[in-house]
Amino acid sequence: MPKWKTVRIRQELVAAAKGTFETTRYQSLSEFVSEAIRLRLDELKQSRETIAEKQVLRPVIQERLLYTQDHMWAMVTPEGNIRVGLSRYAQEHLKGIADVQTYPIGYEVKKGEPFGVVETWMFMFDLHSPVSGIIAQVNNLLLDEPSTINGDPLEITWIAEIKPNSLVTLEEELRDLMNPPRYRMWMSKQSAPRILGL
């Protein structure tokens, strides 16, 4: 950055701080700076507490997930739908995601068949449905900003919700999926290229 721009930015910051200082209750500049630092530290403390709360809840949520050999997770929602997403392993290995597409709401999917695709700069990865049913919801945030799939897959990067066709069929299909310990054991026996179908 050219030196004159850096100096100009600094002068603007000093002018803004001086203006705030002169129009508020502060007795000195050091009191103003101390207050600003205290407020920022409070913000950081609150954000750390929020992260800590999420980390406490996350293992509970993860234990409710069921996995497929196609690296999809499934979780029953309070409404009785099945929320699906990519496993952490898959989303960590699908770098450079350029696009996420799914069939539209109302489309009927069958267990094990593709209901969408993740496209990276190198290849395309089919999203296989863990259960049969109707697509009831899609995550528009993920469709608008596909790179967010590399964030937290449980809270913001679920892909779709599927309304099961029948509870009897759903029970059978969920029984075929792997719980977290079984999925981890299965993963430990696989080789990376074979896992992602490359």
pLDDT in tens, 31-89: 766 676 776 666 656 655 544 444 444 444 566 789 999 999 999 988 889 999 988 88
Query: Comparing C-alpha atoms, which of 100, 39, 74 is closest to residue 162?
Result: 74
pLDDT in tens, 102-149: 999 999 999 999 999 988 888 888 999 999 999 999 998 887 887 777
pLDDT-derived band at 151 (thresholds 50, 70, 90) equals low
132: exposed, middle or buried (C-beta count within 10 Å: 0-12, 13-18, 19+)? buried
Bridge partners for 67 per DSSP: 73, 178
- Greater pLDDT, 6 or 144: 144
Residue 6 has pLDDT above 60, yes or no: no
